[in-house]
Amino acid sequence: MIDIKFLRENPDIVKENIKKKFQDSKLPMVDEVIALDAESRKTKQEADDLRAARNRISKEIGGLMAQGKKEEAEQKKAEVAAGAKRLAELEKLEEELQEKITKIMMVIPNIIDASVPVGKDDSENVEIEKFGEPVVPDFEVPYHADILESISGLDKESAGRTSGNGFYYLMGDAARIHSAMISYARDFMIDKGFTYCIPPFMIRSSVVNGVMSFAEMEAMMYKIEGEDLYLIGTSEHSMIGKFKGEIVNEASLPITMTSYSPCFRKEVGSHGIEERGVYRVHQFEKQEMVVLCKPEESMDWYNKMWKFTVDFFRSLDIPVRTLECCSGDLADLKVKSCDVEAWSPRQKKYFEVGSCSTLGDAQARRLGIRTKGENGTYYVHTLNNTVLASPRGLIAFLENNVNEDGSINIPVALRPYMGGKEKILPTK
């Protein structure tokens, strides 16, 4: 959510930003909120004037009563009563206007960074840089579900009976390598100076509305029936929500955290849920990184954070690239975002394994997360980035480490988490 003062003073910039995001249907909202804001400020001024008059007249009444001028005092009391009735009307109107303004402001997209390429959707995202040489071996790399089945590591049939499509059982060495990757991702970020956290896996609607748009919530999140609780789609939601309504100590900034959680997503849309594989599923696990910082430091942290993910995957011998998200592919709260994509030797292309975003003060403004410095109180900036989301990370690991004989190499970095194992051998 952008600052109402900024919108009031820069309506053309806000409208141009809406056009860059190809959301022209929202253009009338800018003029609508400006009109509502003007009415709200006028209402507030009249209410403030009445409150000031009430205080002044109350003092006059006291003086008149002390002088025995009861009749004049009663006239003043009637004046106060009339003002009180009007003040009640104004306070109700003020509340209604603020609700309308907030509702619209929650829908108007955040101002994107000037460096973001303009494009309609993810097909117009721009490659930034490649890291590692993408290799296509001289044998056919199996589909990841087949690799998992060859080591007796995947059971979707049983998961279908217990939970339905989009769920899975990981078994044996497959489950172990999955957990090893998560544990390594945790320690990787701790070594970068991040504080390790395990957050709540359910959050209230007030937090959901603070961290994402309503459209995203509807498409992603599962609601707990009969409760004001949602299952998290990523631990970023509860990690940012941790600071809701707080004035954090400026000396403590930047706050850098890495969090583990299971994640739950509806995955509604044309892409659908995979029948055999585990690339797009309803439940997965994730190691995330979250930063709260001063506004002038947010872009530096953005560049540090996506590089951490690149370094993580390269330490596992997985080639990756970074992809700049275009304007039309950015969620409404995001200022700038890039995806980290891993190389798929089977498909001979890259696929998304993580996403890094800076949201400016949008989440902090919605949730009331501020800090106080020499120049007064201001909203912090928030950033988030995926260290590892598995099973997608597991897929990248399998495809880039499987051998022609079906065995799977374990990179040096993961061996301590696998009891020293150097290879996983097929059982089928």
The predicted-structure confidence for 307-336, as pLDDT tens digits, reads as follows 999 999 999 999 999 999 999 999 999 999
* 137 and 93 both lie in a single domain: no
Q: Which residue has the higher pLDDT, 336 or 81?
A: 336
The yes-or-no verdict on residue 77 having pLDDT over 80 is no
Share above pLDDT 70 across residues of the chain, in percent, rounded to a whole number: 97
Taking a C-beta distance cutoff of 8 angstroms, is the pair 387, 288 a contact?
Answer: yes
The yes-or-no verdict on residue 32 having pLDDT over 70 is yes
Decide if 11 is inside a domain: yes
Q: Give the domain-ending residue among 35, 70, 105.
A: 105
* Cα–Cα distance measured from residue 78 to residue 223, given in angstroms and rounded to the nearest whole number: 52
Decide if 114 is inside a domain: no
* Cα–Cα distance measured from residue 258 to residue 188, given in angstroms and rounded to the nearest whole number: 10
Decide if 15 is inside a domain: yes
* 76 and 139 both lie in a single domain: no
* 127 and 178 both lie in a single domain: yes
Q: What is the pLDDT of residues 405-416, one digit of tens each?
A: 999 999 999 999
Q: Give the domain-ending residue among 52, 80, 105.
A: 105
Q: Give the domain-ending residue among 105, 137, 167.
A: 105
Domain count of the chain? 2
* 82 and 214 both lie in a single domain: no
- Residue 190: band (very low, low, confident or very high) from pLDDT cuts 50, 70, 90: very high
What pLDDT was estimated at residue 1? Answer: 83
CATH number, residue 334: 3.30.930.10
Decide if 113 is inside a domain: no
- Residue 72: band (very low, low, confident or very high) from pLDDT cuts 50, 70, 90: confident
What pLDDT was estimated at residue 202? Answer: 97
Q: Which residue has the higher pLDDT, 261 or 212?
A: 261
Largest distance between two CA atoms of the chain: 107
Torsion of CA 136, 141, 145, 146, to 10 degrees: -170
Decide if 112 is inside a domain: no
* Cα–Cα distance measured from residue 134 to residue 136, given in angstroms and rounded to the nearest whole number: 7
Decide if 137 is inside a domain: yes
What pLDDT was estimated at residue 270? Answer: 45
Q: Considering only 190-204, 209-223, 261-275, 364-378, which range has the smallest mean pLDDT?
A: 261-275
* 33 and 137 both lie in a single domain: no
Give the chain's mean pLDDT: 93
* 226 and 365 both lie in a single domain: yes
**Quick one: average pLDDT of 22-43?**
96
CATH number, residue 36: 1.10.287.40
Share above pLDDT 90 across residues of the chain, in percent, rounded to a whole number: 83
What pLDDT was estimated at residue 147? Answer: 97
What pLDDT was estimated at residue 177? Answer: 96
Neighbours of 386 (CB within 10 A): 26
**Domain residues for 41?**
4-105
* 85 and 175 both lie in a single domain: no
Decide if 162 is inside a domain: yes
* 77 and 167 both lie in a single domain: no
* 232 and 133 both lie in a single domain: yes
The yes-or-no verdict on residue 13 having pLDDT over 50 is yes
Q: What is the pLDDT of residues 105-139, one digit of tens each?
A: 999 999 999 999 999 999 999 999 999 999 999 99
- Side-chain-facing half-sphere of 355: CA atoms under 13 Å: 16
* 247 and 282 both lie in a single domain: yes
Decide if 63 is inside a domain: yes
Q: Considering only 2-6, 76-80, 211-215, 357-361, which range has the smallest mean pLDDT?
A: 76-80
What pLDDT was estimated at residue 106? Answer: 92
- Residue 26: band (very low, low, confident or very high) from pLDDT cuts 50, 70, 90: very high
* 16 and 45 both lie in a single domain: yes
Structure tokens at 251: 């000396």
Structure tokens at 122: 């993810």
The yes-or-no verdict on residue 223 having pLDDT over 60 is yes
* 98 and 139 both lie in a single domain: no
From start to end of 232-325, where are the E strands? 247-249, 255-264, 283-293, 320-324
The yes-or-no verdict on residue 293 having pLDDT over 50 is yes
The pTM assigned to this predicted structure is: 0.89
What pLDDT was estimated at residue 82? Answer: 74
